[in-house]
Amino acid sequence: MKKETQCIHEGYYPKNGEPRVLPIAMSTAFRYDTTEQVGDLFDLKDNGFFYTRLGNPTIAAAEGKIAALEGGVGAMMTSSGQAASMLSVLNLASSGDHIVSASAIYGGTFNLFNVTLRRLGIDFTFADICDFAAVENAIKPNTKAVFCETLANPALKIADIERIAAIAHKHGVPLLIDSTFATPMLCRPIEYGADVVIHSSTKYLDGHDVSVGGFIVDGGRFDYAKSGRFKGFTEPDASYHGLVYSKDCGNAAFITKARVQLMRDMGTQISPFNAWLTNLGMETLSVRMERHCANALKVAEYLKSRKEVKTIQYPMLKGDAEYEKAVKYLGGKGSGVISFELESREKCVKFMNSLKLVSLLVHVADLRSCALHPASSTHRQLSDADLTAAGISPSLIRLSVGLENADDIIADIDGAFAAAGKR
């Protein structure tokens, strides 16, 4: 089944006489006839729903759709993309462990890693993901994963997934990759060696700015027992009567452990209604991404022609440093996000305050065009050195190109340049 068809049909398969559209199961709990049936669910001897924190029919349908789209063995939906990143790391690492992360990542993820998870005793090394020697040299005996983004937010560096996965696997650790900006329409990281794929479903997957959520997708290929680094997968779990995830859960060990341990204890579940909204958004994902990519390329070409634009990053622009990787990993598309620099922070402020159609929002990857100044918002907590490492200058603007007519978007930007020049 092609991805365009999977967007519409995967995850929910109505039987005779059942609703064609995915129903919303707005129920906290689920009824059973016997205590034995409930006990089997708690012991993981049987599949089913008993409490929405651990599973729900509507949520499960959305999970099934993204798992199919990414080519994974299973998925778990979370309350946000931030929760998905956190649980993915905590599923592998604990106090005293270490993670290698790309330096060019979303500011919220950087703060999660560099501040909050450090407080829990997990150490992080941030490396230029394009410097393969630096990535490999950063791996230590206590390293539990390498983390990066398919298309970095907002630097728009593209990870060479095959090379990075090979380095991680050489040292017996999995590759975790946030593929929010690419979506499975442009890239399926598991096909290139990634082991776990993370999404902020709040962005393109929802696409309508109505539902915060996240996904973790398990590629099902990493051998936790063979690695020798993951006692949490190879030693008995006392909370499940000695269950050994690597042995008893097969290739779904990662996603099973994430759900029955971390979701059970931390409760970062999404509501059934928000899962339903996300599923509805994913049904049109293939169509929307085509338009996002086409519009963004047209807008990027326009911006490149403007004298006010000091630098511009968009992978599908001829001459862009990421062009070849965009052809290989993104199917010759660049997603819908453009980063460009003006002469100064002051110029950025004047320009952005002059936009009318394009909204100033702390958001990205929506059907409505929006713009943001990362250094003063999403990456505000980073030091100057961290901003440089992340590929962010004080005069960088992140433009998320929506589904409006591209000519109207360009006209608004043109007007903002004109208005800012008069101030």
Least confident of 15-19, 170-174, 255-259, 372-376: 372-376
pLDDT at 146: 98
pLDDT at 188: 98
Mean of per-residue pLDDT scores for the chain: 95
Q: Residue 422: pLDDT above 90?
A: no
pLDDT at 421: 83
Q: What is the DSSP letter of 405?
A: -
CA distances from 388 to 108, 290, 395, 400 (A): 16, 32, 12, 21
User: What pLDDT band is residue 393 in, cutting at 50, 70 and 90?
Assistant: confident
Q: Residue 101: pLDDT above 70?
A: yes
Contact 398, 339 (CB under 8 A): yes
pLDDT at 345: 86
Report residue 311: phi and psi, to 5°: -140, 160
> d(Cα 360, Cα 416) in Å, to the nearest integer?
13
Closest CA to 382 of 160, 204, 155: 155
> d(Cα 45, Cα 143) in Å, to the nearest integer?
33
Contact 190, 72 (CB under 8 A): yes
Q: What is the DSSP letter of 208?
A: S
More confident residue, 127 or 390: 127
> d(Cα 283, Cα 4) in Å, to the nearest integer?
8
More confident residue, 387 or 251: 251
β-pair type (214-218, 196-200)? antiparallel
Average pLDDT over residues 379-386: 72
Q: Residue 379: pLDDT above 80?
A: no
Average pLDDT over residues 163-190: 98
Question: What does the DSSP assignment read for 306-323?
Answer: -TT-SEEE-TTSTT-TTH
pLDDT at 423: 60
Q: Is 148 helix (H, G, I), strand (E, B) or coil?
A: strand
CA 240 to chain centre: 30
Residues comprising the chain, all counted: 423
Residues 6+ apart with CB under 8 A from 366: 203, 207, 208, 209, 400, 402
Express each pLDDT in 49-81 by its tens digit: 999 999 999 999 999 999 999 999 999 999 999
More confident residue, 349 or 175: 175
Q: Which amino acid, residue 311? A: T
Q: How many CB atoms lie within 10 A of CB 308?
A: 15
Express each pLDDT in 322-370 by its tens digit: 999 999 999 999 999 999 999 988 899 899 999 999 999 999 999 999 9
Express each pLDDT in 261-316 by its tens digit: 999 999 999 999 999 999 999 999 999 999 999 999 999 999 999 999 999 999 99
pLDDT at 235: 97
> d(Cα 136, Cα 302) in Å, to the nearest integer?
39
Helices and strands (H, E) in the chain, number of each type: 20, 12
> d(Cα 325, Cα 6) in Å, to the nearest integer?
26
User: What pLDDT band is residue 132 in, cutting at 50, 70 and 90?
Assistant: very high
For Cα atoms 169, 173, 177, give the angle at the middle one, nearest 5 degrees: 90
pLDDT at 67: 98
Residues 6+ apart with CB under 8 A from 383: none
User: What pLDDT band is residue 387 in, cutting at 50, 70 and 90?
Assistant: confident
At the top level of CATH, the class of 3-281 is alpha beta
Structure tokens at 129: 């993901």
Closest CA to 290 of 180, 204, 411, 201: 204
> Is 285-422 assigned to CATH 3.90.1150.10?
yes
Closest CA to 183 of 205, 212, 211, 167: 205
Residues 6+ apart with CB under 8 A from 101: 110, 113, 124, 125, 126, 127, 146, 147, 148
Identical fold, 3-281 and 285-422? no
Closest CA to 215 of 112, 405, 67, 386: 67
CA distances from 383 to 100, 137, 232, 376 (A): 19, 24, 35, 11
Domain boundaries, the chain: 3-281, 285-422
User: How much is the pTM?
Assistant: 0.95
Express each pLDDT in 221-248 by its tens digit: 999 999 999 999 999 999 998 999 999 9
> d(Cα 315, Cα 412) in Å, to the nearest integer?
23
> d(Cα 336, Cα 367) in Å, to the nearest integer?
10
